[in-house]
C-alpha cells in the first residue's frame, strides 16, 4: 500500500496575483455598468427573475431574523385593539394594501414591488408584521411607522391586520366605522408628531 501524498493546494488554486487581478477586473466591469446606468431602476420595469428572487429572499430572511425575539402581546384579539387598528389601517395602509371590497388605487397600481393585499393572505407572523410596520422595508415604499407611532399603536395595527383575511367587505366597513377616534386624536401625544401639530412660529 503506497503512502498518499499530501494535497497540494497551490497546484489546484490560482495564485494570489491572479485572484487580485480577476477581482479588480470584475469590480471594474460592475463599476462601469453602475456609472453607465445600465440597470433600469424604473418602477414600471420589473426586476429580472434572479434579481427578484435574491431581493425577496434577502428581505424575508432579514425580517425573520430581526423579528424572532419580539414578544407578541397576549391580547391581539382584544376588540378594543382591533377597533383602534382599523382606524389606523384605513388612513395609513389601505391606499397601498387595500382591504375587502376596495378597488385598486392609483398608488397601489404604481408600486413596484406591488404591496401585498393583506386581506387575501397572511404571509408573516405577528412579530414579523410588527417589525415591518415599525422599521419599514427598503425600496418597497413601506415607511418606518415607528418614528412617529408608539409600539402599542403598531400592535393595534397588527391586531387588525390579523383579522383582515376573515372579513367580508361589509365587516370591513363596519370595523372602520367603529374605530373609536380619528387619526389626529390618536396621534396627538405621539413624540414624533408633537412638533408637526404645532403651527409654525412667525419670525
Domain locations in the chain as residue ranges: 49-186
Nearest to 97 by CA among 50, 55, 129, 138: 129
Note the pLDDT tens digit of each residue in 149-183.
999 999 999 999 999 999 999 999 999 998 876 66
Note the pLDDT tens digit of each residue in 113-150.
999 999 998 889 999 999 999 999 998 999 999 999 99
Q: What CATH class does 49-186 carry?
A: mainly alpha
Does pLDDT of 11 surpass 90?
no
Q: How many residues does the chain have?
A: 203
Query: Residues 55-64: what's their mean pLDDT?
Result: 95
Quote the CA–CA distance of 135 and 113 in Å, as a whole number. Answer: 18
Higher pLDDT, 27 or 181: 27
Phi-psi region at 29: left, alpha or beta (left = phi > 0; alpha = psi -120 to 50) = alpha
Quote the CA–CA distance of 92 and 158 in Å, as a whole number. Answer: 13
Looking at residue 146, what DSSP letter applies? G
Nearest to 150 by CA among 190, 92, 196: 190
Amino acid at each position: 500500500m503506497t503512502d498518499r501524498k499530501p494535497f497540494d493546494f497551490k497546484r489546484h488554486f490560482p495564485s494570489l496575483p491572479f485572484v487580485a487581478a480577476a477581482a479588480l477586473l470584475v469590480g471594474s466591469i460592475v463599476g462601469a455598468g453602475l456609472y453607465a446606468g445600465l440597470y433600469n431602476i424604473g418602477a414600471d420595469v420589473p426586476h429580472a427573475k434572479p434579481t427578484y428572487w435574491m431581493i425577496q429572499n434577502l428581505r424575508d430572511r432579514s425580517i425573520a431574523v430581526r423579528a424572532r425575539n419580539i414578544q407578541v402581546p397576549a391580547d391581539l384579539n382584544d376588540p378594543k385593539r382591533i377597533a383602534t387598528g382599523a382606524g389606523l389601517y384605513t388612513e395609513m395602509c389601505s391606499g397601498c394594501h387595500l382591504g375587502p371590497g376596495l378597488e385598486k388605487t392609483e398608488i397601489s397600481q404604481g408600486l413596484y414591488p406591488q404591496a401585498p393585499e393583506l386581506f387575501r393572505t397572511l404571509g408573516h407572523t405577528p412579530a414579523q408584521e410588527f417589525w415591518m410596520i415599525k422599521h419599514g422595508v427598503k425600496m418597497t415604499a413601506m415607511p418606518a411607522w415607528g418614528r412617529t407611532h408608539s409600539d402599542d399603536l403598531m400592535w393595534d395595527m397588527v391586531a387588525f391586520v390579523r383579522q383582515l383575511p376573515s372579513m367580508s367587505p361589509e365587516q370591513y366597513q363596519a370595523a372602520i366605522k367603529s374605530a373609536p377616534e380619528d387619526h389626529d386624536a390618536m396621534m396627538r401625544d405621539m413624540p414624533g408628531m408633537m412638533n408637526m401639530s404645532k403651527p409654525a412660529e412667525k419670525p
